[in-house]
Chains A and B, each alone.
Chain A
Amino acid sequence: MYSLFRGSLAALLLWSWLPAMAETPAPEAVGVQEDVQSLKQQVLELNRDLFLLEEELLFPTNTQVSVFVSLDVGEFFQLDSVQLKIDGKEVADYLYTPRELDALARGGVQRLHIGNLRNGEHELVAFFTGKGPKGRDYRRGATTTITKGLGPKYVELRIVDQTRNYQPEFAVKEW
């Protein structure tokens, strides 16, 4: 009886002594994983080609306009949503999840809108809603006129902290 308990203990002991962070896959899983790897690669290549086709068909380079959102530091402003209007027409109204905000805060840039515009001047208005300094509700707008020429047009809506007045600043940058 006693020895049986010792046997059980030994099993538990082995379990508790596994390295804290190391595990390797079982050999029988390797075959399946190799298939999955190959399929992933093929689907990714196909997905890329489909994306390229879609972009060419829906957003030809001569009319394509993309609007991006980026966040620099973001200590004075907690972003909730962004509303975007081009030539008075709403083209995006985006509500952010905590995961997306984290990705923005770490340097990610979100493509808020992709669409088509004729050559010439267009008015772009963006409204940023969230919590400002001291947790107060905050809503600010940024307006700019962009000139669409030949080739795709990239516009970046940047939320930047201004340390001189402890306020967020909303800037529009054309690329």
Chain B
Amino acid sequence: MTRRTLPLYLLGLACLTAGSAIAADKPRQVLDLDYGEVLFQFYQEDYFAAITHLMVADERGRLPHHRKDADMLLGGLQLSYGMLDQAQARFERLLDKSADPALHDRVWYYLSKINYQRGHYRKAHRALEQIGDNSDKALNAQRALLAANINMALGDNAKAAQSLRDVRAPGGWKEYLEINRGIALMRAGDITAGREVLDKLGKQPAAGEELRALRDRANLGLGYQLLRSGDPAAARDYLNRVRLQGPFVQAALLGAGWADAEQGDFQSALTPWMALSKISGHQPAAQEARLAVPYALAQLGDGKQAAAYYELALDYYDSEQQRIDAAIDSARSGNLIALLAQADTGTSGGWLHANPTLEGIPSGRYLVDVLAGNGFQESLKDYRDLGYLAGALNRWLDKIAIYHDMVDMRRLAYERRAPKVRERLARREATQLKQRWQQFKARVDAARQQDDPLQLATTQEIQQWARLQDLQTRLAALPRTPRHARMREKTEWLRGILYWQIQADYPVRWWENSKQVRGIEPLLREAATKQAAIRQALQRAKAGFDGYDARIKALHGRIVALLPRIEAARGASGRHLQQLALGELETRRQRLVSYRSQARYALARSYDQLASTPGERP
């Protein structure tokens, strides 16, 4: 069976829930090559090229077999390329145009997703309710997740959890559905049920890094929830399940220490906190551990060590604050945006497969979280896409100058050749040839009708025949002598031989001549057609050149008008990115300031305690 596929199935996965490793193909034959070419670009996430080619193919009428699919695909491509308005309008038109219930379901899903992305949660919910019972498992899974997210956004966590229950989903989706259900249950206040779901998920063997990270997340979330609800012993069990090599290890170590501390076991709490404080990480958990270690030491009664660690913490916070201040200055000066321009990867559309390198960016280490965030990624995509658009238009600007010259060259060539062509047309060569052919045909037809072989004699034979006739005439005028009689007899014999030869060849000659007559006829017709086409082309050529001139001029004008607007939008997008980065840096700075003041206060208190303790001096 062929594996050529339509992307409808994938749109929901690749475009709307990117990051999921789940994909399934729905075999279907590609019947228009242009449509296959669009898919080739779509599967490479080159959405700009895919949309352009789809529009070109549509304009040329090259999608006769995939008209409906092309509409759906274009809507999906626009959605993937961040053109929500256009995608929404297209999907709404599709609802009016098609009566296919399966197509309606998919369209309503996309409309719901668009409204959710825009924060129009009520509209998103209404669109989702339009989807009927569907046998498409992938669509069911996507719908359930979207319904859960919408309900959570609307504050109805219980309904969110309900929408994720017993969903018929394809393999690989279950873990996503379950973690979201666990989260929804917890948020709805049903701790027991939420714990049951997340506990089960957290114990499952996971194949692949993505699922292992998901499992870690479930355990981490559950551990913290239990800490908050006053069950530190159970919390410790869940936090212990988080992998040491995983992305959540720092938060897990901090929480593990807290679980011990809550049970009064500060000695045990020191182990994860000391390990965390030695990590040269810049995450909040690692920073907080610098305070947690002396706090535990103080609780254990080791005031001297506690004071020493508070001093170390103060030094650390001071140096970190200096670095953050430098990073803020650097970000404000525009260096950050210049470095983020490395996001210009030469393609447009799709997810950024790798964050722009953080090496060399003073604030890089603090921006890991913000860079991974959806808001920053979306803005960075806009920034990159605008750079790509400007690059594409600048390349067209160079090309269009060449096309202008090309049209000029063709016009010159036309003006040079046209008079000669007109002259030949004026000679009516095709008409003359046709007349000659008609004469030849009449001769062949006459030979057949009169059954006269001499009609098809060769030029040489005609000359010989005429010469013999001339000889006979002259001999007839001579006296009747025996010598002349022999000459007359010989002439008559030669004439007979010649006639016999001509007559013997006559059937073959007639057949060959007839064949040639028939063969020439279509060539003459073609010549007449070409002559008419040339005459027409000559008449249209000037208008054609003028038409190209006008089109090139108009297109050039559009490029020139768009370039500064793109530049301005890119500037705005860059400034937005800068604000996001500065916001994150400022939050981190404030956190450090808070940690620092807590450390100073605790240190002062430690010194006081040491001073009041006999035999102890700080």
Query: Which chain A residues have a beta carbon within 8 Å of chain B's beta carbons?
Result: 1, 4-5, 8-13, 15-17, 19-30, 32-55, 57, 66, 68, 70, 72-73, 99-100, 102-111, 154, 156, 175
Interface contact A25-B569, CB-CB below 8 Å: no
Offer 21 A-B interface pairs, CB within 8 angstroms, sorted by A: A21-B17, A21-B20, A21-B149, A21-B180, A22-B148, A29-B576, A42-B558, A43-B562, A46-B396, A50-B396, A51-B53, A52-B60, A53-B548, A57-B548, A68-B36, A72-B2, A106-B3, A107-B39, A108-B37, A156-B33, A175-B33
Chain B residues closer than 8 Å to A28, beta-carbon distance: 576, 579
Given known contacts A20-B183, A48-B55, is B40 in contact with A108 (CB within 8 Å)? yes
How many whole Å from A34's CB to the nearest CB in chain B?
8
In the complex the two chains form, is B43's CB within 8 Å of A108's CB? yes
Cβ of B510 < 8 Å from any Cβ of A?
A: no
Give the docked Cα–Cα distance between A29 and B6 (Å).
33
State in angstroms the CA–CA spacing of A117 and B258 once bound together.
77
Cα of A8 to Cα of B288 in the assembled complex, Å: 8
CB of B227 closer than 8 Å to a CB of A: yes
Are A106 and B5 in contact, with the CB atoms below 8 A? yes
Per a CB cutoff under 8 Å, which of A33, A46, A105 touches B378? A33
Residues of A within 8 A of B275 (CB): none
Which residues of A lie under 8 Å from residue B407 when comparing CB positions? 57
Name the A residues within 8 Å of B260 (CB-CB): none
Among the 9-residue stretches B213-221, B312-320, B357-365, B481-489, the one with 4 or more Cβ atoms under 8 Å from chain A is B213-221
Do the beta carbons of B43 and A19 come within 8 Å of each other? no
Judged by a CB distance under 8 angstroms, whether B340 is at the interface is no
Q: Which size class do B's interface residues fall under?
A: 35 or more
B187 and A17 within 8 A (CB): yes
Q: Is the CB of B5 within 8 A of A49?
A: no
CB distance from A56 to the nearest CB of B (A): 8
Taking a contact as CB atoms closer than 8 A, the residue among A29, A47, A68, A106 that contacts B25 in the complex is A106
Q: Interface residues of A: mostly helix, strand, loop or mixed? A: helix
Contact yes or no, B116 A103, CB < 8 A: no
CB neighbors of A among B359-381 (8 A): 373-375, 378-379
Q: Given A1-B598, A32-B379, A53-B403, A9–B228 Cβ distance below 8 Å? A: yes
Name the interface residues of B7-50: CB closer than 8 Å to any CB of A. 17, 19-20, 25, 30, 33, 35-37, 39-44, 48
Q: How far is the CB of B283 from chain A (nearest CB, A)?
A: 10
Query: Which chain B residues border A107 with CB–CB below 8 Å?
Result: 3-6, 25, 30, 36, 39, 43
Q: Residue of B at shortest CB range from A68? A: B33
Contact check, A24 vs B295: say whether CB atoms are below 8 A apart.
no
Cα distance, A109 to B145, chains bound together (Å) = 33
The complex places the Cα of A51 from the Cα of B221 at a distance, in Å, of 52
Q: Which residues of B contact A154 (CB under 8 A)?
A: 33
Taking CB as reference atom, which chain A residue is nearest B295? Answer: A1
Within the complex, what minimum Cβ distance (angstroms) separates A51 from chain B?
5
CB distance from A172 to the nearest CB of B (A): 13
Q: Contacts A1-B598, A40-B385, A103-B43: A48 and B258 contacting too (C-beta < 8 A)?
A: no
Instruction: Identify which of A16, A28, A43 gathers the most chain B CB atoms within 10 Å of its CB.
Output: A43
From A12, A15, A102, B43 is in contact (CB under 8 Å) with A102
Please report the C-alpha to C-alpha distance between residue A53 and residue B554 in the assembled complex, in whole angstroms.
Answer: 12
A40 touching B555, Cβ below 8 Å = no
Which residues of B lie under 8 Å from residue A9 when comparing CB positions?
A: 224, 227-228, 255, 258
Per the bound structure, the CA–CA distance linking A25 and B573 in Å amounts to 14
With contacts A5-B292, A24-B153, A53-B551 known, what are 5 further pairs, Cβ within 8 A?
A4-B598, A5-B291, A9-B228, A22-B145, A27-B119
Those 9 A-B pairs whose CB atoms lie nearest each other, nearest first = A109-B36, A108-B40, A23-B374, A107-B4, A103-B43, A22-B149, A107-B5, A48-B55, A108-B39
Q: Are B56 and A51 in contact (CB under 8 A)?
A: yes
Q: A16-B221, A23-B374, A32-B572 are in contact. Are A99 and B44 (CB under 8 A)?
A: yes
Please indicate which of the listed interface residues A5, A16, A107 has the most CB atoms of chain B within 10 Å of its own CB. Answer: A107
Stretch at the interface among B77-85, B100-108, B447-455: B77-85
